[in-house]
A and B are shown apart, each in its own frame.
Chain A
Amino acid sequence: MSGLIGPEGGPAPGATGVRFGFFTDSSICIGCKACEVACKEWNGVPDHPLDFTANSYDNTGTLGANAWRHVAFVEQGTTTSGRGGNGPGAGAADFRWLMSSDVCKHCSSPACLEVCPTGALFTTEFGTVVVQDDVCNGCGYCVTACPFGVIERRESDGGAWKCTMCYDRMRGAREPACAQACPTDSIQFGPLDELRVRASARLAEVVAAGEERAQLYGHDQTDGVGGTGALFLLLDDPEVYRLPPDPVTPTRRLARMWAMAGAAAGALAALLAGSLAGGTGGGRHR
Chain B
Amino acid sequence: MGDPSPVSAGSLRTYYGQPVLKQPEWTWEVPWYLFTGGLAGASTGLAWGARTTGRPGLAATSRLIGATAAAVSPVLLVMDLGRPQRFINMLRVFKPTSAMSMGSWLLSAFVPAALSSGVLGATGRLPRTQRLAEGAAAVLGLPMCTYTAVLLADSSIPVWHEARHHLPFVFAGSAAAGAGAVATLLAPAAEVPPARRLAVAGAVGELVAAEVMKHRLGRLADPYHQGGAGRWARAATACTASGATLLTLPGRPRGERRSPGMSVGASLGAALVLAGGICQRWAVFRAGFASAADPRYTVGPQRERRRAQAG
From B25, B93, B205, residue with most partner A Cβ within 10 Å: B25
Is B82 a contact partner of A245 (Cβ separation < 8 A)? no
User: B81-94 toward A: CB 8 Å interface, digit per residue (1/0)?
Assistant: 11110110110110
What 10 new A-B contacts, CB under 8 Å, besides A144-B22, A261-B149?
A: A114-B95, A144-B155, A257-B99, A265-B172, A268-B45, A271-B173, A272-B49, A275-B180, A275-B195, A285-B190
- Nearest CB on A from B11, distance (A): 11
Residues of A within 8 A of B302 (CB): 239, 244-247
User: B175-203 toward A: CB 8 Å interface, digit per residue (1/0)?
Assistant: 11000100000000011111101100110
- 8 A-B residue pairs with Cβ-Cβ distance under 8 Å, sorted by A, are A72-B15, A117-B101, A118-B90, A135-B89, A246-B309, A253-B161, A263-B168, A265-B143
Is A274 a contact partner of B98 (Cβ separation < 8 A)? no
Of B53-61, B67-75, B224-232, which stretch is located at the interface?
B53-61
Q: Provide the bound-state CA to CA distance between A117 and B99, in Å.
A: 8
Question: Which B residues from 264 to 295 make CB contacts under 8 A with A?
Answer: 288, 292, 295
Residues of B within 8 A of A240 (CB): 13, 15
Residues of A within 8 A of B20 (CB): 148-149, 239, 242-244
Is B99 a contact partner of A115 (Cβ separation < 8 A)? yes
Question: Which A residues from 252 to 286 make CB contacts under 8 A with B?
Answer: 253-254, 256-258, 260-269, 271-286
Is B194 a contact partner of A239 (Cβ separation < 8 A)? no
Q: Which residue of A lies closest to B93 (CB)?
A: A119
Given A239-B303, A258-B150, are A280 and B193 also a contact pair (CB < 8 Å)? Answer: yes
User: B140-177 toward A: CB 8 Å interface, digit per residue (1/0)?
Assistant: 00110111011011111100110011101101110110
Q: Does A27 contact B (CB under 8 A)?
A: no
- Nearest CB on B from A140, distance (A): 3
Of A88-96, A151-159, A201-209, which stretch is located at the interface?
A151-159
Q: Lowest 5 CB-CB distances: which A-B pairs, in order? A: A138-B82, A283-B54, A158-B82, A140-B25, A242-B15
Residues of A within 8 A of B191 (CB): 281-282
Is B53 a contact partner of A137 (Cβ separation < 8 A)? no
Residues of B within 8 A of A179 (CB): none
Is A62 a contact partner of B18 (Cβ separation < 8 A)? yes
Q: Provide the bound-state CA to CA distance between A140 and B26, in Å.
A: 7
Is B42 a contact partner of A268 (Cβ separation < 8 A)? yes
- Nearest CB on B from A242, distance (A): 3
Is B54 a contact partner of A119 (Cβ separation < 8 A)? no
By a beta-carbon cutoff of 8 Å, the part of chain A in contact with chain B is 53, 55, 61-62, 64, 72, 74, 111, 114-120, 135-141, 143-154, 157-160, 237, 239-248, 250-251, 253-254, 256-258, 260-269, 271-286
Residues of B within 8 A of A158 (CB): 81-83
Is B90 a contact partner of A282 (Cβ separation < 8 A)? no
Is B175 a contact partner of A253 (Cβ separation < 8 A)? no
Question: Which B residues from 111 to 150 make CB contacts under 8 A with A?
Answer: 142-143, 145-147, 149-150
Is A116 a contact partner of B98 (Cβ separation < 8 A)? yes
User: B223-258 toward A: CB 8 Å interface, digit per residue (1/0)?
Assistant: 000000000000000000000000000000000000
Residues of B within 8 A of A137 (CB): 81-84, 86-87, 89-90
Q: Does B46 contact A (CB under 8 A)?
A: yes
Given A250-B161, A278-B197, are A145 and B86 also a contact pair (CB < 8 Å)? Answer: no
Is A276 a contact partner of B50 (Cβ separation < 8 A)? yes
Q: Does B21 contact A (CB under 8 A)?
A: yes
Residues of A within 8 A of B295 (CB): 239, 242
Residues of B within 8 A of A256 (CB): 164-165
- Nearest CB on A from B94, distance (A): 10
Question: Which B residues from 27 to 73 make CB contacts under 8 A with A?
Answer: 42, 45-46, 49-50, 53-55, 58
